[in-house]
Structure 1
Amino acid sequence: MALTIKEIENAKPKDKKYKLADGGGLCLLVQPWGGKSWLWRYRFDGAEKNMTFGEYPLVGPKDARGLHYAAKKLLATGVNPMAERKAEAEAKQQEVKALEREADSSFEKVARKWWTWWSIGKSPRHAEILMNRLEADVFPVIGHLPIDGVQTGHVRDIMLAIETRGARDVAKRAHQSIGQIFRFAIARDLASRNPSADFRPRDILAAAKTENFARVDEKDLPELLAKMDDYNGDALTRFGLKLLAYCFPRTSELIEAPWTEFDLDQARWIIPPERMKMDTPHIIPLSHQAVAVLRALKLLTGNGALVFPGAMDKKKPMSNNTLLYALYRLGYQGRMTGHGFRGLASTILHENDYEEAHIELQLAHMKRDKVAAAYNHAKYLKQRAEMMQWWADYLDAQLAKGRRALTA
């Protein structure tokens, strides 16, 4: 006879545990402390087995009888219900562990581990910006995926979505950051491949609109140099134009330079990282001609801090437009800028078979990663010094050609 709710509720604890039969081998086990649970005793392969179906009242009699019936059906097929339950429990446990492993190896989890490792030594502002971009553009798309589940198409789609809002450079940096995360993961056996390595940003992003700084053609260089040499304005301006040509720095790097950056005996100009667009110093080997110009300048401004002090306030550098307006007065408005010497140097040095790495590093275009930061500023220094001397000699030859043309 099946137990009623009243009988179950009225079953009081005794000194020893006891059972109340519910039928078909199912019973209610009452413990001395008052606990009540559903128990089924059965035989399998000649041995007695016990199987529980939960505690009352969490499992009521109706649910207990349903579980009991299902177990009896399983037993009738020759399967041990307890062994089956154990196998199911182990399978669920493995599934949970697999999900946990998957969560730990999700792209976002790995990316955050990478960020913690990568951000050491970086400026807090830079590190924050990078994480904000990951959270805004990358994690919503692939953050939840197992890192090995990220495909090339995912990376492409992220970049194209960023590009559509007009942020091409951000799209390129997303590609770079994703690649760094995967390299970090591969090095630690957290991923097997890097899907971002399957293509370069230029393979999918539209060509960038480049800003072309005005500059003369090589054939017009002799006349320009001759007019610069004859410039009858302020001597500082004339010397500044010469150094722009000989050293091809950015204009701001030149006019803001203090004398402490120059070692004329060693023929080097060392610009510290805080004045550069990078995290390492930049060395400009000085040609004989550049040293001569700087020694002449030393007589004019060597008692002050700045090589090119302003006309009104000697503690401030000359105006950024001073050299540009001098080119205007020479008749080169819209035809030449201070930055134009950088483009001319790059073109002519390439055409004369100088190594691209030497040229790019001298232009301060060379990417400098964390590993190389300690020495990269001095890389190829001997070759660059020879290249800069060739460039100065080339300019002098062009100047001589221009002088001949002006006096002809």
Structure 2
Amino acid sequence: RSVIAKGEDPRLLHRRTSQAQQSEDRASLTFKMFVPQWKELNYKRLGPDEPHKKGSTRTQIDRYLEKDILPIIGFIPIEQIIRADVLSIIRKIEKRGKLSIAEKVRSWLTQIFRHAVFEGLIDVNPALDMSYLASPKPPAQNNPHLEKEDIPQLLVALANYPGDIQTKLGLKLLLLT
């Protein structure tokens, strides 16, 4: 009532107070603190986890977050992260020759920052359009097909193969197609 007596709108005062609180919260929210929110949303889309699979998407995301992303921007408040920070992560991965991983990391970072934009934590996605600066991938090198004269050698190797019978049968079936 005292607010009304002063001639102020209580809803407007409440809105200003909550906006000030949100600004304080945004300033202290680091990238590392925000990532679990994105993971919770994104992992639901991925479906059930298959931890026994080495290359599962969740495993890859966790591995590269810990290895390449969090050491560089993990403790920076999310609203202070700029394009140069994101680019340094991508360049570091590209220098190792892991261009396909750099592409995945770029995609994940774009998704994480897009989620931050939708949550109202940042105004601009610093990872957007990073593909423009990406190193070009080398052309794919396909394995050559099997020549006719190599088939007998393959059959001998297949007969001596100590592995799973399904693998042997699958390869024999493949030869018939």
| Conserved? CA contact 1:156–1:204, under 8 Å | no
Structure-2 residue corresponding to 1:319: 172
Structure-1 residue corresponding to 2:39: 115
| Distance in structure 2 (CA, Å) of the matches to 1:122 and 1:176 | 21
Deviation for aligned residue 1:124: 4.4
Q: Secondary structure at the match of 2:73?
A: helix
Query: Which protein has the bigger strand share?
Result: 1
Structure-2 residue corresponding to 1:165: 96
Give the alignment's TM-score, normalised by structure 1: 0.28
Q: Secondary structure at the match of 2:86?
A: helix
Where do residues 76-155 of structure 1 align in structure 2 (5 Å cutoff)?
Answer: 98=24, 101-103=26-28, 105-120=29-44, 121-125=47-51, 126=56, 127-155=58-86
Deviation for aligned residue 1:193: 1.3
Moved over 2 A (4+): 100-103, 206-209, 212-215, 316-321
Deviation for aligned residue 1:101: 4.4
The Cα offsets for residues 55-77 of structure 1, whole Å up to 9 and x where unpaired, read as xxxxxxxxxxxxxxxxxxxxxxx
Deviation for aligned residue 1:318: 4.8
Say yes or no: does 1:188 pair with 2:119.
yes
Q: Secondary structure at the match of 2:140?
A: coil
Deviation for aligned residue 1:155: 1.3
The Cα offsets for residues 49-101 of structure 1, whole Å up to 9 and x where unpaired, read as xxxxxxxxxxxxxxxxxxxxxxxxxxxxxxxxxxxxxxxxxxxxx9xx94x64
Structure 1 residues 169 and 320: CA distance shift in structure 2, 3 A:
farther
Give the alignment's TM-score, normalised by structure 2: 0.61
Identity across aligned pairs (percent)? 23
> How large is the Cα RMSD of the aligned pairs?
3.0
**Counterpart pick for 2:135 among 201, 205, 213:** 205
| Distance in structure 1 (CA, Å) of the matches to 2:65 and 2:38 | 12
| Distance in structure 1 (CA, Å) of the matches to 2:39 and 2:128 | 19
Deviation for aligned residue 1:317: 3.4
| Larger-gyration structure (1/2) | 1
Alignment-mate amino acid for residue 106 of structure 1: T
| Distance in structure 2 (CA, Å) of the matches to 1:142 and 1:123 | 26
Deviation for aligned residue 1:213: 5.3
**Counterpart pick for 1:178 among 109, 124, 133:** 109
The Cα offsets for residues 336-356 of structure 1, whole Å up to 9 and x where unpaired, read as xxxxxxxxxxxxxxxxxxxxx
Q: Secondary structure at the match of 2:37?
A: helix
Deviation for aligned residue 1:132: 2.0
| Distance in structure 1 (CA, Å) of the matches to 2:59 and 2:115 | 19
Deviation for aligned residue 1:194: 0.9
| Distance in structure 1 (CA, Å) of the matches to 2:26 and 2:118 | 18
| Distance in structure 2 (CA, Å) of the matches to 1:317 and 1:113 | 43
Structure 1 residues 214 and 323: CA distance shift in structure 2, 3 A:
farther
The Cα offsets for residues 295-331 of structure 1, whole Å up to 9 and x where unpaired, read as xxxxxxxxxxxxxxxxx98xx435266158xxxxxxx
| Conserved? CA contact 1:148–1:193, under 8 Å | no
Query: Which protein has the bigger helix share?
Result: 2
Structure 2 alignment gaps of length 5 or more: 1-19, 146-164
| Distance in structure 2 (CA, Å) of the matches to 1:320 and 1:167 | 35
Alignment-mate amino acid for residue 65 of structure 2: L
| Conserved? CA contact 1:175–1:196, under 8 Å | yes
Deviation for aligned residue 1:134: 0.5
Structure 1 residues 317 and 132: CA distance shift in structure 2, 3 A:
closer
Structure 1 residues 214 and 107: CA distance shift in structure 2, 3 A:
same
Query: Which structure is richer in relative contact order (CA contacts within 8 A, separation 6 or more)?
Result: 2
Equivalenced residues, count: 129
